[in-house]
Amino acid sequence: EIVLTQSPATLSLSPGERATLSCRASQSVSSYLAWYQQKPGQAPRLLIYDASNRATGIPARFSGSGSGTDFTLTISSLEPEDLAVYYCQQRGNWPPTFGQGTKVEIK
Amino acid sequence: QVQLVESGGGVVQPGRSLRLSCEASGFTFRNYGMHWVRQAPAKGLEWLAVIWNDGNNKYYADSVKGRLTISRDNARNTLYLEMNSLRAEDTAVYYCARDIRDSGLDGIFDFWGQGALVTVSS
C-alpha cells in the first residue's frame, strides 16, 4: 500500500498570500494524484485530479503540479473561505490511499 | 444536480451489524462505479470499498475485508454497505462517493454524500 505524507501539518497565512502544500508518495504514482478540500463539518470536495487538472467549478487560484513521488497544491491568493483541511489521494496503485491532511488556517 | 444521500447511521453495540444506504439522483446511476470512504473522529480519510457500475466486481480494503459488503440496486439508484461484527474502531462518518468515470473506474471521487455517522458503543 502506498503511503502519502503531507506537509506541513498546519499552514497559517493571511488572505492574499500564496499557500504551497506538499504531498510525497512512498513510491511512484505517475500522475495519478488528486487533491480534496474538506471544510469544517462538510464532506470532501474534489479540487484537482491527475496532478494538475482542475475539477469542474474549481476556481483558477487552485493549481496542482508534480509527478512520480512529489506533488504540490498551490493556492495562489488565499481567500477566507479557503479555511479547510486539504487531502491528497493516489490511484496509481490499488488500493486508493489518502494523505493525513494539511490544515490551512487564515490569520 | 448530482446528489448522494446516506442514511442508516446510528449507535450500535459492538459485535452487531448495520446497513448503510446511499440514494443517488441527478445522474445515470447504473453507469458509474461507487465507493465507500470513512473518516474516524478528528482523523483522515480511509477508502473502504468499490463496486463496478454493473455490480459484478467489488474490491475492499484489507482492513475491512470479510466484515463489510458493498452492493447496489441500479433499479432503485441506491448503494449499500453492510457492516458486520462492528468494533469500536469502526466509529466514523461513512461517505459514499461517485467515481469520476462514466462506464469505467478511475479511483477519483468527484461527488460525495454528506456522510452517515456510525457510533459503535455499548
SS (HEC) of B15-43: CCCEEEEEEEECCCHHHEEEEEEEECCCC
Q: For testing the chain A interface, which of B50, B60, B108 should be mutated: the one with the most A CBs within 10 Å? A: B108
Helix (H, G, I), strand (E, B) or coil at A92: coil
- The whole-number pLDDT of residue B103 equals 80
Neighbours of A61 (CB within 10 A): 14
Mean pLDDT over residues A89-103, rounded?
Answer: 96
| Residue A93 banded pLDDT, cuts 50, 70, 90 | very high
Contact list in B for residue A44 (CB cut-off 8 A) is: 45, 95, 109, 112
Closest-CA distance of chain B to residue A87, Å: 8
- The whole-number pLDDT of residue B102 equals 86
Instruction: Say which of B44, B111, B112 has its CB closest to residue A100.
Output: B44
Low-confidence ranges of chain B (pLDDT < 50): none
Is the pLDDT reported for residue A56 higher than 90? yes
Cβ of A96 under 8 Å from any chain B Cβ?
yes
B45, three cell numbers: 480519510
Distances (CA, A) of A28 to A5, A77, A84, B6, B37: 13, 30, 27, 34, 23
Q: At which residue does the C-alpha cell 448495520 appear?
A: B18
